[in-house]
Amino acid sequence: MKRSTSETVIVLLGDVENSRRVADREALGVGLDRACGRLNDEFADELGAPVSIIKGIDEMGAALISFRRAYDMIALVGAELRPERMRFVLVAGEVDTTSGSSEFARMDGPVFHLAADMMKELKSSKLLFAMSVSDPLLDEAVAGAVNMLLLARTARTEKQRDVVEEYERQGNQVAAAAALGVSQQAISHVLVGSDYRQFKLVETSLRGVMESYSVRWERRTPDGAR
């Protein structure tokens, strides 16, 4: 008989908002597959277990080594699934390691029960993100900032999204204007009208807070998040 063992991990769990009302389920599945592939490629160093789709095509999950870049992971998924939205919970807790499996779908333990409970509360709130790592006040503050940024992203018009994405892809307004076939002034007008500069300042601040918080959590956790 195997002796039960456990370790502390960070779980990132995502659930598609109003998934039963999604008309094009095939497109949703393709988007989730693409998002998982990109996350596993671009954030490999952050993962303790690969990102995978669970429960059909409605949920996805991963075990993280740290949550320094969790916001960027969530933002990537949002971009891939648009116009659909996915809500996320980020939770630190114990996982049973008896099976020795590194597959997220086969993991079990108290952290998953907490994540499920938090997801239910998140659905009721109509927000897009909640977290529980170690410091309740900091968790609440970070979650508030993440929610405001995610809601601001989803509130952009299609034109604003196209301009912002092309500007970030090209790195400057002139190149973005050429790619989109518009004037540089038109690009500037959209960026100013969407409060792009202020948005990026808040994003940068949030990334710094999550970096520091994650480092502090890793130092307090005996085995890190491994």
Q: Hey, what domains does the chain have and what are their CATH numbers? A: 7-156+194-220 (3.30.70.270)
Confidence bin at 222 (pLDDT 50/70/90): low
What's the pLDDT at 221?
67
pLDDT of residue 1: 40
Instruction: Report the share of the chain in percent with pLDDT over 70.
Output: 90
d(CA 182, CA 133): 45
Average pLDDT, whole number, for the chain? Answer: 88
DSSP 46: G
Which pLDDT does position 226 carry in this prediction? 44
CB 187 within 8 A of CB 176: yes
Give CA–CA dist 152/68, Å, rounded. 21
Place of tokens 């999204």: 161
